[in-house]
Amino acid sequence: MGSTDGLRQTWYGRAVLVVLLAVFGLYNAATITEGPELVVLCVAIPLCAGVLLARRIPWFVAPVVVSVAAAVWGGLLFLLLCVALFDLAVGRHVRVALGCVAAVAGVRAFVDLATATWQIDQYSSLALLSLLSIVSGLWRGSRRRMVQLLADQVEHLQIEGALREEAARSKERSRIAAEMHDILAHRLSLIALHTGVLVASGDALPPRVTDRLRLLRTASTEALTDLRDVLGALHEPRTSPQLTPVPGQVQQVVDEARAAGQDVEVTVDGSPDLVPTTHRLAVYRVVQEALTNARKHAAGAAVTVYIDYRTPATRVEVTNAAATSAPGAVASGYGLIGLRERITGLGGDLRSGPGGAGSWRLTARLPHPTGTTQNRPTP
């Protein structure tokens, strides 16, 4: 839209210039000519102006028409010829522009020599105006192409950024699918196992209970198969055994960070065993992402991790102090995009930003499911 508006404004400005030059030419024609010549100029000047303003004609028509008119009727059309030369230079048709100038000068020289009206000033003016028109047209065309190139690059970067963000979200969804596959598969397999044990010892149970147990075992086995078919198609095969964190891996990732030289202090309130597994996974990812970002962008800075599993919401806050050395990488932000996809999918919110005194804070809040009563803070 902005580019279209700019082109429209440029055309309007050019139209005003052409009309003013045409009016100036008509005024001069009425002042210094008379009779049939005046009539011809009163037709030729508006015709040339109209051709210059036409928008649906081939690019070469206007220069040819104006050049012929300037060659036949002389100096009163030179200014309109300059507009045509400017347009040719903008379109990088410099050779055509020089050819038009040479043709006009040649015809005018032949006419002036034949009629003994040779005036050297007329040709010096034509040469100067033509040179200025072509040079300014080249500059304008180069600037226009540069602006268009920059606009295309900005659009390309915006599209690329949007694609990268979507890729980050898709990657996080695939990771969540893989984690949920492992968690639910484990629990469904336990249900199938325990119901199978009960069915095997069904002699001590009423027949109706045994039938229900068989039905429950069959349903859990079928659900496990369906789960593998559906969620298994949403993620690529994994080779890393740590893709799905287990309780205690938050401490493991902290220990790894400390072994790498990071100064990490951890405080935990509540028990992770009493919150949904999805919360524990999300906490693990938040801590992992925050420690990774701190290593990249605040190397040597102390990091404080606070995790609160108590109701009504699981909260995690990671703060790193101001960097004590130069940042080691440029932030892409795609890790946070995927992390936000995970947190919002659980009904929570993720925030990141300055924490004061040059520090940086990453916080996440995950509300507990309705009816959760464990992990209440002590009064």
pLDDT digits (tens, 9 = 90+) for 27-45: 777 777 677 777 777 778 8
Whether residue 354 sits in one domain with residue 259: yes
Whether residue 189 sits in one domain with residue 97: no
Work out the percent of the chain whose per-residue pLDDT is above 90.
13
Q: What is the pLDDT of residue 3?
A: 52
Provide the 3-class DSSP secondary structure of residue 320: strand
Whether residue 256 sits in one domain with residue 197: no
Last residue of a domain, one of 102, 118, 134: 118
Q: Which two tokens stand for residue 354?
A: 């300055």
Give the pLDDT mean for 69-87: 84
Cα 7 to the center of its chain, rounded Å? 24
Whether residue 71 sits in one domain with residue 24: yes
Look at residue 127 and tell me if it is in a domain: no
Look at residue 134 and tell me if it is in a domain: no
Whether residue 256 sits in one domain with residue 227: no
Confidence of residue 118 (pLDDT cuts 50, 70, 90): low
Q: Among 243-247, 248-252, 331-335, whose mean pLDDT is lowest?
A: 243-247
Residues in the chain: 379
Look at residue 266 and tell me if it is in a domain: yes
Confidence of residue 237 (pLDDT cuts 50, 70, 90): low
Look at residue 85 and tell me if it is in a domain: yes
Q: Among 73-77, 165-169, 362-366, whose mean pLDDT is lowest?
A: 73-77
Look at residue 267 and tell me if it is in a domain: yes
Look at residue 373 and tell me if it is in a domain: no
pLDDT digits (tens, 9 = 90+) for 204-229: 677 777 777 778 777 777 776 766 66
Whether residue 284 sits in one domain with residue 221: no
**Tokens 């020089």 map to which residue?**
98
Q: What is the pLDDT of residue 170?
A: 77
Whether residue 55 sits in one domain with residue 11: yes
Choice between 327 and 204, residue whose per-residue pLDDT is larger:
204
Q: Which two tokens stand for residue 148?
A: 């268009």
Give the pLDDT mean for 357-374: 79
Domain count, the chain: 3
Look at residue 162 and tell me if it is in a domain: no
pLDDT digits (tens, 9 = 90+) for 153-205: 998 888 888 888 887 777 777 777 766 666 666 667 777 777 777 777 766 67
CA distance 125 to 71: 14
CA distance 151 to 93: 24
Whether residue 346 sits in one domain with residue 267: yes
pTM of the model: 0.50
Instruction: Say if CB 57 and CB 87 are below 8 A apart.
Output: no
Residue 379 has pLDDT above 50, yes or no: no
Q: What is the pLDDT of residue 360?
A: 87
DSSP for 280-306, please give it. Answer: HHHHHHHHHHHHHHHHHHSTT-EEEEE
Last residue of a domain, one of 100, 118, 136: 118
Whether residue 38 sits in one domain with residue 101: yes
DSSP for 57-116, please give it. Answer: S-TTHHHHHHHHHHHHHGGGGHHHHHHHHHHHHHTT-HHHHHHHHHHHHHHHHHHHHHHT
Q: Which letter does DSSP use for residue 374 in this model? A: S
Last residue of a domain, one of 118, 147, 163: 118
Strand partners, 263: 302
Instruction: Say if CB 285 and CB 342 are below 8 A apart.
Output: yes
Confidence of residue 243 (pLDDT cuts 50, 70, 90): very low
Q: Which two tokens stand for residue 12?
A: 């309007």
> Residue 267: which CATH number?
3.30.565.10
Whether residue 79 sits in one domain with residue 28: yes
Whether residue 298 sits in one domain with residue 258: yes
Host domain of residue 111: 2-118
Alpha helices in the chain (DSSP H): 2-32, 36-53, 61-73, 78-90, 94-115, 120-200, 207-232, 249-259, 277-297, 334-345
Going from the C-alpha of 313 to that of each of 131, 146, 153, 319, 373, the distances in angstroms are 75, 53, 44, 19, 11
Q: What is the pLDDT of residue 324?
A: 56
Whether residue 262 sits in one domain with residue 218: no
Q: What is the pLDDT of residue 242?
A: 45
CA distance 39 to 50: 17
Confidence of residue 334 (pLDDT cuts 50, 70, 90): low
User: To which H or E segment does residue 351 belong?
Assistant: strand 349-356
Instruction: Say if CB 82 and CB 129 are below 8 A apart.
Output: yes
Look at residue 147 and tell me if it is in a domain: no
